[in-house]
Amino acid sequence: MSSSLVPTGGLLPSTLDRQVSRALARIDGAALVASHQDQVRLDRVATTTERGMVRAAQLGALESVLTQGAPQSAGYIHAVACAGAIGIAAVVYEAGRGS
């Protein structure tokens, strides 16, 4: 009887089948971990961005109130508010760059 006529693939998986299954499971596991890490990073960046936007809005409101109370100091108040807003933007930018 020719070996090409002998049926292959019995009820039990072959060694190659088991190796492929284990390799695929490892790949799936690694993809799941990477996906989770991406989600954590996105959440961190989104939270930092939201907080930065709120703080920048608070700075703008405070600048407005202080300028109305001391119009002669408007230039100084604006300069400090801009510096604060730039600092907030830097924190948000670094959160996006971080790993």
**What is the DSSP annotation of 35-58?**
HHHHHHHHHHHHHHHHHHHHHHHH
Phi, psi of 49 (to 5 degrees): -65, -45
Domains of the chain, by residue range, sit at 15-97
pLDDT of the residue at 74: 96
Cβ contact 78:67 at 8 Å: yes
Q: Which of 48, 55, 31, 57 lies closest to 97 in space, CA to CA?
A: 48
Kindly report the pTM of this predicted structure. Answer: 0.64
- pLDDT-based confidence at 32, cuts 50/70/90? confident
Q: Is residue 56 within 8 Å of residue 13, measured between CB atoms?
A: no
CA 5 to chain CA centroid, nearest Å:
56
Segment 68-93, tens digit of pLDDT: 999 999 999 999 999 999 999 999 99
The answer to whether the Cα torsion of 3, 9, 12, 13 is positive or negative is positive
Confidence of residue 17 (pLDDT cuts 50, 70, 90): confident
